[in-house]
Structures are given as C-alpha cells and as structure tokens.
Structure 1
Amino acid sequence: MIEHRELRSICHMSIGTNQLIKAGKFYKALLPVLGIELVCEYEHAMAFGKKYPEFWLQIPYDKKIATPGNGVHIGFMASTKKQVDDFYKVGLSLGAKCNGKPGLRPEYGDPYYGCFLIDLDGNKIEASFWDSKK
C-alpha cells in the first residue's frame, strides 16, 4: 500500500473545546461515517484520522476558553454522496445544528456534493464528495 501523505498540503489541524468528553463522544460517533477513527487520546486532547492524527480536538494549550473562529471551518473528505448524507444525519442526531443540507452546490464546482454542520462547541464542519466522473 502506498501512503499519499506527501500529496497533502496540511499535516493536521486542531480545534479547541471546553467540553472534551462530550465533544469527544460527538466526534467518536460522527467521524467513523467517513472512515475516520480515534487514533490517540490524552487527558487534554484526542486525535482522529486514517492511520495517523489529522484532526485534533483539544483543550486550548493556554487554558483559556475555546471559541470557534468566524470564517473558519473544517472540511472532511467523503468517498460517496451517501457518506455525506450519513454524516449530516448522524451529526444532527448527535446534537449538531444544520448549516447547509446535503446537496449539489454548482458555485463550488460541478463535481461538488456536500453538507455543513455546526458542532457542539460552535465549530463549522463540512463533509464533501467530489464526483470526478462528472
């Protein structure tokens, strides 16, 4: 199996939380929809990914209140439109808020199909599928 990490532009990203246990349960239940699993867990942080830590959920290092950044969102890659739909449904069932139902968005390009949620801490998250057959 060939690893394609060298093709990525970003190594990993982190978001802060004020409720690590609750937020951890949310992401432990949501991310497997996209084939993303918990990779490692610490007292102050959890890391998720496909074989290595790509998405970190953590208590801020400076111990100050975590706040979501305006304009910032995390886009997770889906392998199918069904994964996008499942991400949306599971996220809502776990307490996320809708920030854009699953669907085509021609303004993002013809191959794009995605959805947007707001997680338990107010972070904006997305799942998208790019249909390269279009």
Structure 2
Amino acid sequence: MESPSIMNHVSIGSNNIEQALPFYDAVLATLGAKRQIDIPGIGAAYGKLFPEFWVQQTHDGQPAGTANGVHFAFNAESKADVDRFYQAALAAGARDEGEPGPREMYGPAYYGCFVRDLEGHKIEATFWDETLHE
C-alpha cells in the first residue's frame, strides 16, 4: 500500500525525558498512539502502527530548544478526539495556545487545537471533516 503521507517521522529534543515521556504517553493516547520504541534514558517513539514521532535527548548533548514558527500537528479521527487531546494536554501541564474549534482561515473542514508541551514545543491536534471540504 502506498502511504498517503510524505513524512516518515519527526524528532524533538527534550531536556527532561522523565517528564516528557509521561506527558506524551497521556496526550498521544487520546489519538490512539502509543510508544512503538522505548530506549531507556534516551527517549521513545510514538505512533499507531510504526514510530512517527520521536521524543529524545539531543544527539550532540547540547540543550534542546524550540523554534519559532515550528509546530507538530497530529491527526485526530473526530472533533471529540481533538477535544480530548486538548484536555489531556492541559491536565498534563501544557500551556494553552488555542482551544479546540474551527479555524476558518484553514478552510471549513478544519477543526483543531494548539498547546505548548512542558518544554515549549507547539503541538496541535486536528480533524479534517471531509463532509465540509469544498
């Protein structure tokens, strides 16, 4: 089967793996994702079927950082999944960057939310409602 995605995986650096992994365990579970690979003391990779999103220590040993304008969006299967993602993220210590709802600038099919994880990485859950796509 040909993959509909052009991406294979993405990695983010963490300065506190012991905090980051439980955060992502809770938040990504709302979308049906779980740890696919776990490397103790280094990090882990999350996905539904294969490792797509890595959270890990930096390879060069320098502090991990965030980048202005960069964020990571996760597919949700429904608006309710987006809502659950948002609530789980806030409960796990994330900072609100945009509550769940439509964003008309992205088109009528878009429904999503934005948060900052414990280290400031901007993450999003989004549902694309094909019934509303023009």
1:21 equivalenced with 2:13 (yes/no)? no
**What SS does the aligned partner of 2:65 have?**
coil
Cα distance in 2 for partners of 1:96, 1:7 equals 30
How far has the Cα of 1:107 moved from its partner? Answer: 0.2
Residue of structure 1 equivalent to 2:58: 60
How far has the Cα of 1:126 moved from its partner? Answer: 0.1
Aligned-pair identity (%): 44
**What SS does the aligned partner of 1:76 have?**
strand
CA deviation digits over 1:12-57, x for unaligned, max 9?
A: 0000000001100100111010001111111312000011100000
Task: Please give the root-mean-square deviation of Cα atoms over the aligned residues, in Å.
Answer: 0.9
Residue of structure 1 equivalent to 2:48: 50
Gaps of 5+ in 1: none
**What SS does the aligned partner of 2:30 have?**
helix
Cα distance in 2 for partners of 1:107, 1:36 equals 28
The letter of the residue matching 1:56 is W
Residue of structure 1 equivalent to 2:32: 35
Residue of structure 1 equivalent to 2:107: 109
TM normalised by structure 1 equals 0.95
**What SS does the aligned partner of 1:60 have?**
coil
Cα distance in 1 for partners of 2:43, 2:89 equals 21
Residue of structure 2 equivalent to 1:118: 116
CA deviation digits over 1:42-73, x for unaligned, max 9?
A: 13120000111000001000000000111100
Cα distance in 1 for partners of 2:5, 2:110 equals 19
Cα distance in 2 for partners of 1:50, 1:77 equals 11
Cα distance in 2 for partners of 1:107, 1:116 equals 15
Paired positions, count: 131
Residue of structure 2 equivalent to 1:85: 83
